[in-house]
Structure 1
């Protein structure tokens, strides 16, 4: 089954609703799984899902330490992804060069 994609605004509105009436009630009201809403709420608390200006109360806002930790984790994850993508790109370049050379040899032998 294909995973349904929701736009940023929809997620923000769902999180705001969940913060007002609770995750289970919000999920039921908008017709999606509570685990999905819960994930968005968690993402908003970790700073991954931005709810926009003025959306945090002093109780829900991240402390500077928590925000710094979340940003460090995000940078670490992105660095890993960049490294992997560079390795994959290098492999594809080598494979492309190999197949191009192989094709040139094939064309020369058939002439």
Structure 2
């Protein structure tokens, strides 16, 4: 049975920094972790999915994060518009429901 180890975020960040200095294979051996695990963390850091702290962003990563931020803003704006539209529709349906309920009561059909 394989034992699964868990690593906290700070450990991962320090491991990636060590891998940058000494190479992934050497750093993995020194830390006693699988090379594939460390390679995954290094890849995440390069892709911008792991924050290594101040001074660790490259221009390509910063642009990626800025583009991702812009996309998230656009999605938020779309969702806000959709929420507004659904609230307006809900308000209309409530008014229509009240109108038809009052209409039924006036015509005497509300007691069926």
- TM-score tier by shorter-chain length is 0.5 to 0.7
Which residue in 2 is equivalent to 1:89? none
For the pair shown, the structure with the greater C-alpha radius of gyration is 2
CA contact (8 A) 1:47 1:70 kept: no
User: What is the aligned length?
Assistant: 71
Measure how far apart 1:69 and its partner are.
5.3
> TM-score when scaled to structure 2?
0.53
Gaps of 5+ in 1: 73-111
Q: Deviations over 1:7-27 (max 9, x none)?
A: 011000000000011000000
Which residue in 2 is equivalent to 1:54? 55
Runs of 4+ in 1 over 3 A off after TM superposition: 69-72
Partner secondary structure for residue 38 of structure 2: helix
> TM-score when scaled to structure 1?
0.54
Distance in 2, matches of 1:48 and 1:62, equals 9
Which residue in 2 is equivalent to 1:14? 15
Measure how far apart 1:55 and its partner are.
2.1
Structure with the bigger percentage of helix? 2
CA contact (8 A) 1:23 1:38 kept: yes
Distance in 2, matches of 1:50 and 1:23, equals 18
